[in-house]
Copies of this chain bind each other. A is one copy, B any other.
Amino acid sequence: MSKFRFLTSGESHGKCLTAIIEGVPAGFEIKPELINEDLKRRQSGYGRGGRMRIECDTVEITSGVRFGKTLGSPITLVIQNKDYENWQKIMSVNPEDYTDEKSFTQCRPGHADYAGSVKYNQKDLRNILERSSARKTAIEVAVGSVAKQILMQFDIKCSSKILQIGTVSAPTLPSHAGRVSEGQEGFEAEIDRVKELGDTIGGKFEVIFENLPVGLGSFVHWDRMLDGRIAQGIMSIPAVKVVEIGENPLGYLGSEYHDEMFMENGKIVRHTNNAGGIEGGMTNGEPLIVRAVMKPIPTMRKPLKTVDLAEMTECEAHFERSDTCAVEACSVVAEARIACVLADEFLQKFGGDSLNEILSKFNV
């Protein structure tokens, strides 16, 4: 049921991250610089630690694009791990390079470590950490950026913003619980405070896509409901625990919640968008609004109590990284995830094997 399909790969300290995207029609302009912009946005944001500065991810396209345009063949994206030179031996493919440097067994609560070690029968939790790391979202952002560039041809655009950091809300959102912040400064102050404590903090963000055609997704079968597909995309981002489409309905009666329809100048209009742009599992022509809550990053300077899986004794959790807050990065990943779903639905709905063909159909 998928036209824009893709696989991604890569360990956090491996040689590179890779993605192959299959199903993009011919003739779409793909600009690496737009992908790099999204990669940069993913790495920035107040509250990030040191590694972000090492990385400065850039993408290389190694197939599927010629002279700036897609060929219709699978597109390959590669992001080198800049840190790899320091990890070459530790992450080596070759058995003769075996080392237990950087091995660890003190599993980190909130991460994949415990369940991963049981599932994949691994003693060295490095073998779990490397793939379960949020590092892999870099290549997912790159894939999403290709999806965005497809959507852009049809004037579909997206944006995102932070609504809340911990209990500090954006000023424009009085309906949200918690202290009202003075905007970005309020968020930064809260992040500074938490950083000071050696702790971490999560938050809530919003992604909006505008100018979507009516009728992406469908009610006819449960796995074609657009809201469901989007929720999968968002909830599968590491650390996301809550997904909302449109306005949370708690506290509204039916007569208050639903977006009534009116005629204005011969056109159907609405004055509200509580549905967040989706009715019956389909886009309804209003902006698509998706919100999500990210949990605090589980790796902390102030370590959690846990168990050493080799010794089966209590200990402190392994410490690998040092971001205080990554909500902004998370919102960039969320944009990417939604873009992939929308591009897939769009390409399915309009068919066509080249941009020209799709445009001719789209404009009928």
Check A18/B20 contact, CB under 8 A, given A74-B8, A201-B254, A349-B353.
yes
How many chain A residues touch the partner (CB < 8 A)?
A: 163
Q: Which residues on the B side are within 8 Å of A72 (C-beta)?
A: 119-120, 131, 218, 220
A159 within 8 Å of B (CB atoms): no
- For the complex of A and B, list the 10 residue pairs with the smallest distance between their C-beta atoms, beginning with the closest: A112-B280, A351-B351, A228-B236, A119-B215, A68-B95, A200-B254, A231-B235, A254-B296, A232-B232, A9-B74
Check A164/B353 contact, CB under 8 A, given A221-B74, A225-B236.
no
Closest to A9 in B: B74
Q: Which residues on the B side are within 8 Å of A148 (C-beta)?
A: none
Q: Which residues on the B side are within 8 Å of A259 (C-beta)?
A: 109-110
As for how many copies of this chain the complex holds, the number is 4
Closest to A73 in B: B131
Contact between chains at A119 and B353 (CB < 8 Å) = yes
Question: Which among A61, A107, A202, A243 has the highest number of chain B CB atoms within 10 Å?
Answer: A243
Contact between chains at B353 and A120 (CB < 8 Å) = yes
Q: Which residues on the B side are within 8 Å of A281 (C-beta)?
A: 112, 236, 238
Contact of A93 among B8, B26, B61, B253 (CB under 8 A): B61
Q: Which residues on the B side are within 8 Å of A166 (C-beta)?
A: 250-253
